[in-house]
A and B are shown apart, each in its own frame.
Chain A
């Protein structure tokens, strides 16, 4: 027999695949890949040749009853050169070693590329995390902070929790009696100084028969007699000397009032300054207590300490935000947490965060729009008049997620998004992710886009497509294509050989396993291999359109089920092929009618 299912033993991890074994009892040997991508036994024993009947493959020659008897294949057939190029490109350091992968969509090469890159990425170094934080400047910009791998989410959560705690702690601190007493003391001191001065003035004036009267517009001074304003005829009846004396007194008093009221703006400023100092003292104590914990935990990362200091300054200055609105300034209305629009500027926006999976990321972006690649900025409110909008969320793009690893994109998707392709080329050339959308990606006007500090970029771009797509991409975006120093070309067909047939049978076993299908008997496998030969156009080759073979397997499985069989037989494969042929003919006729 050609095939033997590997025993499920510890040898499996050390020897991931078994090649054809001569006897049922033969020990599985480690597998290597030859130049053609076929599998040979590491112990040098060549598998027995199958009986290659020109009219069709003899099922007996396959050496197994059903696919359940053989080890499913884990590697593609006949793609050694492409895989070597892929491995080379993935491992090469330096700019421009991006990888252009060409292949036929039906061959399943994209899945192979993804799987190979994931294997390579698993052993690579885990990249750092990145976050955006407010720079707390007037322009509303954001700084990029690099954090140790796996800490970004904890840092963001820590900041959110800090704001939550302040939402409780600050109102409580401002509601405390000692704060209220201090605040009142300042207010009283200010008020007493003004009112005492006015009262003194009033008493002095009354002693001179002059009254201070409040008018709708301000204050007036009037001559009085027995507590009432003197009538003009009475006033005019007194000697002129006395009248002049009263008028002089009134003029002097008016000057004093003017001087007293002129001092008010200065005194008012002093009052505000003292109240601000008190507020900062009370808020500062709470803010520092909460943020110090964050500093201890994350302060070693570059830039984190200065961010925390800036955030603390801003929080102290804006402590009133936590006190809610309505009524007395010391009446505390509980406010929400970091989700509250008032606190969005304290949010830590996670742009890249390593999860529990080891190694570097492998990210495939199926829809490479600008915002899907470079991220997106969501605004909460504000903006207008060229002012920066209040940013509520900065969402990472595929570049952020793939940074330090691999980004896979279909060539045909890039062709239809030329401006994104150009932006991608610029990012790869500059080695940084710069948020500079060609047009407003999110309802923010052009003058209102926040300034996001660029994030250093180290990513391998892997563009997948058939030769036609790759040519179209080269034409539409030559800048981008120049950045691919490695090309991995996946074959459509493979030369038929004993090894390839063995591998093909294992490939079919793999399809069966992956799709949880009923085992295919040897006759069915032989027929499928014949179909691959037919699809390749004869000439001793086999087609590598795995998707086609997989479709037939699934459909045959369906027919086998209908017949109540536990094994997909040659009859089911035959029926699947005939049904497909019939449907194809029907489609053709319909298109003609």
Chain B
């Protein structure tokens, strides 16, 4: 969990920006990766994965692709594919490098031809003690499965940054969406470091499934903060993981980043009709 990073001041981690072969990236996801690296003094690795399955497909005589620009079907030949991927990879890595330069974050680039998830898992296994994977491809409405696969297969990742299609680079507060009291302090500390790096404030969003649970969580939080008052605090009742209620509360704050817990109420780790990332106006850092 990211908690130990925030608590121990560990600064030997890495943010792996996973660049997709399809070539579409979300600039807010990349910016969030930079904010994370800056906050924790870590480096960024831009990892462009040439999906080797595409080369397997290219070997078929009937293999063809439908261009999204409406140019119609055309065959897939391995040399063409190789050239296209090289150009796409170079363009994406340049984009990440420029973002890193703007943020004064060390950055290195790597291109591999592999199964995408396997490549990310290997990259994270090489370094430690912590890694955060930033999925640069815009997170689609039905991408919860992919998030689940990352947490399941990339065991060395501490968290995953995702940005939905509605996400924009904003300069608002960092919101920590907390569902359990024991997660409150570490998530808040992580949020504070991120907020300092982004120049914003921290806001706490307490999320509960039932009114009683939520009241108890709020009571404990207020007791913890005592007279100092702590950060601005809001509660949201998200019965049965009501994503819309949480998304609405988050949107009102116009945040730059939201921290949420994986496997909780709002990001259950199971198939959900709509993911929170998809509904948010900013990137989401999902932590174990």
Contacts and interface: CB of A to CB of B under 8 A. Distances in A.
Contacts of A257: 66
**Which of A214, A216, A219 gathers the greatest number of chain B CB atoms within 10 Å?**
A216
Contacts of A258: 66, 73
Interface stretch (B50-58, B102-110, B175-183): B50-58
B68 interface: yes
A187 interface: yes
A69 interface: no
A254 B140 contact: no
B141 A220 contact: no
Given A250-B62, A257-B66, A199 B56 contact: no
Nearest to A211: B53
A590 interface: no
Given A187-B166, A192-B141, A195-B140, A215 B53 contact: no
A438 B57 CA distance: 72
Nearest to B140: A195
Nearest to B68: A218
Interface in B223-248: none
B81 A215 contact: yes
Nearest to B61: A232
B114 to A, nearest CB: 12
Given A213-B57, A220-B57, A222-B57, A261 B70 contact: yes
Interface string A224-254: 0000111110010000000000010010001
A254 B76 CA distance: 14
Interface stretch (B15-23, B125-133, B190-198, B201-209): B15-23
Contacts of B112: none
Contact of A327 (B87, B168, B251): B168
Contacts of A485: none
Contacts of A199: 142
A235 to B, nearest CB: 7
Interface string B169-190: 1100000000000000000000
Given A180-B251, A187-B166, A217-B65, A230 B140 contact: no
B22 A232 contact: no
A220 B76 contact: yes
B88 A220 contact: no
B67 interface: yes
A96 B65 CA distance: 81
Interface in B23-74: 23, 51, 53-54, 56-57, 59-60, 62-70, 73-74
A571 interface: no
Contacts of A53: none
B20 A214 contact: yes
Contacts of A192: 141
A229 B88 CA distance: 22
Given A195-B142, A229-B56, A327-B168, A216 B84 contact: yes
Interface residues of B, number: 40
Interface in A51-73: none
A274 interface: no
Interface string A192-218: 100110010000000000010111111
A254 B81 CA distance: 19
A269 interface: no
A384 B117 CA distance: 54
A191 interface: yes
A331 interface: yes
B60 A232 contact: yes
Contacts of B67: 217-218
Given A192-B141, A232-B60, A216 B85 contact: yes
Contacts of A218: 65-69
B26 to A, nearest CB: 13
A180 B115 CA distance: 39
B22 A247 contact: no
14 contacts: A191-B165, A215-B65, A217-B74, A218-B66, A220-B65, A222-B63, A228-B56, A229-B56, A247-B62, A257-B66, A258-B66, A261-B66, A261-B68, A265-B70
Interface of A: 177, 180, 184, 187, 191-192, 195-196, 199, 211, 213-220, 222-223, 228-232, 235, 247, 250, 254, 257-258, 261-262, 265, 327-328, 331
What are the nearest 10 A-B pairs in CB distance?
A214-B22, A328-B168, A220-B65, A229-B53, A222-B57, A218-B68, A218-B67, A229-B56, A216-B84, A232-B59
